Structure 1
Amino acid sequence: MKPKLQIALDVVSIKEAQDILSLNNLVDEVDIIEAGTVLLAAEGASAPRRLRETYPTKMLVADFKIADAVNTIGWMLFDAGANLITVIAAADLATVKIAGQLAKKYNQHIQIELYGRWDFDLAKEWFKGGVDHVIYHHSRDASQAWTVSDIEKIKGLIGIGFHVSVTGGLKPEDIEMFRGLEIFSFIVGRSLYEAKDPVEVARAFKQSIDASF
């Protein structure tokens, strides 16, 4: 399956998020809408609920980065219309397993955000616990580009069975590095919606995806 293009909306109001998506019909150029951590902090579960009401057919991510109270937070976000909810990699394994059970109940998915320290043994436990998505981060603050080491780690995660999304300072010209890998989505945020012409940038990403996959 061809990788999807995901827009991460780390803005401070649902109005700002909807204005971004509606400007020149940018929403038509992306496959997945993400209610980013900042937006969720500002608007709570009303953010995914409003996005679901406005865009009923779009895949929707709630990037809460849950570390605890997963039953309560997860229920609120799935009930609001999220298809995927993020849990931080530092969360206790028991929390991750509860998240996996909750996702199964809703017929939805949990994504583990691979911030900080993690290893493949732990990743295998997540997968056994019912989590089938991870997000691989390359720090946008890092000066170096994506590396062979990044690609090898992504291959390892795919080998476990995960659907892997990637993010972190991505540019359209970076996409070809991932050729041959079963990437679930490429996640872009401010570099897309703060661009002079967001639609043009989104189309450049889609063209790179089409050319590489």
Structure 2
Amino acid sequence: MKLQIAIDRVPLTKARALMKQLAPFADILEAGTSLIKDYGVTALGDLKEAVSDTQLLGDIKTIDEGAYEFRQGYRHGADLLTVMGASSVETIRKCYEVAEEYGKEMMIDLLECTPKKVEEIIQFPNAIYCLHTSVDQGATADPNGDVLTFKKAFPSVKRIAIAGGINLTTAAALSASAPEIVIVGSGITKAEDPIQVAKQFRKVMEEQCKFSM
């Protein structure tokens, strides 16, 4: 399992500092949606420069103009970008084509997607499908169960991420479902000591990876 740390709702200078501090413990660092809305997609270049050896995800949540937005995101330094599963299939296809062209990665955010909608958009083999409970809705009660249920319903999907209020306890329970990516935001960045908590998440996830092998 990979650990993705999401940084959001802070000044750009603090985001950059946090990324530099947390990079040793993260597989992926995320520039969150609100951060990009505050400072624009061009801020991805500044953030990538700070953490050049770590993958950077820009959570741009594209829902239209897929090719344009994805080209801009990759040109400005993102290694991964997000498109909403609620988008048209054609928008997702255009995003996927640009990702493949650039040799980069695409994450499909399944926020509020019905099973019927998911069925329409599972034809992108290199895409990462993110099960996502919104900030407004609160933490997912059973992330491990959510992933297992999704895998059973959509066995052809091989790359899965999980996000939404993940804590140390729920992260430790993910060995049974083993998603590719576990996304943690304020559980790390809002902690009194973000570095120490990031170390704890890294330790828990490494232990669970050994257990699941």
Range of TM-score over shorter length? 0.7 to 0.9
- 1:6 is matched with which residue? 4
Match of 2:132 among 128, 132, 137: 137
CA distance in 1, matches of 2:139, 2:48: 36
CA gap of 1:187–1:204, structure 2 versus 1, over 3 A, is same
Paired letter, 1:133:
I
Match of 1:53 among 44, 49, 54: 49
Cα shift at 1:118: 2.4
Aligned pair count? 208
- 1:73 is matched with which residue? 69
Larger mean CA deviation between 8-17 and 108-117 belongs to 8-17
2:207 maps to 1:206: no
CA distance in 2, matches of 1:84, 1:143: 24
CA gap of 1:177–1:157, structure 2 versus 1, over 3 A, is farther
Cα shift at 1:202: 0.7
CA gap of 1:204–1:99, structure 2 versus 1, over 3 A, is same
**TM-score scaled by length of structure 2:** 0.88
- 2:58 is matched with which residue? 62
Contact kept, 8 Å, 2:133 with 2:140, in 1: the verdict is no
- Which deviations, in whole Å up to 9, do the C-alpha atoms of 1:104-161 show, x marking residues without a partner? 1011121111111321x54344232455211111345447721675133332377223
Cα RMSD (Å) of the superposition?
2.1
Task: Flag structure 1 segments of 5+ consecutive residues without an equivalent.
Answer: none
Contact kept, 8 Å, 2:126 with 2:159, in 1: the verdict is no
| Secondary structure in structure 1 of the residue aligned to 2:155 | helix
2:154 maps to 1:154: no
Contact kept, 8 Å, 2:147 with 2:179, in 1: the verdict is no
Contact kept, 8 Å, 2:133 with 2:163, in 1: the verdict is yes
Larger mean CA deviation between 70-79 and 150-159 belongs to 150-159
CA distance in 2, matches of 1:149, 1:181: 8
Task: Flag structure 2 segments of 5+ consecutive residues without an equivalent.
Answer: none
| Secondary structure in structure 2 of the residue aligned to 1:159 | coil
Contact kept, 8 Å, 2:4 with 2:30, in 1: the verdict is yes
Structure 2 matches for 1:1-213, cutoff 5 A? 3-22=1-20, 25-119=21-115, 122-129=117-124, 132-139=127-134, 141-142=137-138, 145-146=141-142, 149-156=145-152, 159-213=155-209
CA distance in 1, matches of 2:202, 2:144: 23
CA distance in 2, matches of 1:163, 1:98: 19
Identity %: 25
Cα shift at 1:177: 2.2
Stretches of 4+ aligned residues off by more than 4 angstroms: none
**TM-score scaled by length of structure 1:** 0.88
